[in-house]
Copies of this chain bind each other. A is one copy, B any other.
């Protein structure tokens, strides 16, 4: 399995934040998690609320742990709220099941991590995250 390098993580964050500025989004925060759901890199833009790390992390953490991107998690939460609540119980309350938690796949389609992005609407967050992942030469699943 390929691993996300620190250089790739920095490219993802840089391009995701540039995308946010280009789209005129509110101040963003972006985390990159590895294939085990562990933090590889994080940046919080000036002006973002102090509590943005746990939200960015929660979006990406659920994606890696379940192998399911934010959009699919949200659909599940809307159909079956108690199931996602229970999932959150077993994962220590660390999952935020909305778009902006974006899976990172390598050329073979394996999940090698996730990007969590927060600050604007969930849909805009996901667009910016996707731009970052693709700039690093990897595949994004929103």
Contacts and interface: CB of A to CB of B under 8 A. Distances in A.
A23 interface: no
Interface residues of A, number: 55
Contact of A81 (B1, B68, B82, B96): B82
A96 B88 contact: no
A83 to B, nearest CB: 6
A92 B92 contact: yes
A68 B93 CA distance: 21
A82 B84 contact: yes
A86 B86 contact: no
Given A6-B44, A88-B86, A97-B86, A50 B77 contact: no
Interface in A62-91: 64-68, 77-78, 80-91
A87 B46 CA distance: 21
Given A87-B55, A88-B86, A39 B36 contact: no
A135 interface: no
Interface in A6-22: 6, 9-10
Interface of A: 1, 3, 5-6, 9-10, 34-46, 48-51, 53-55, 57-58, 64-68, 77-78, 80-98, 111
Nearest first, the 3 closest Cβ-Cβ pairs linking A and B are A36-B36, A51-B65, A49-B67
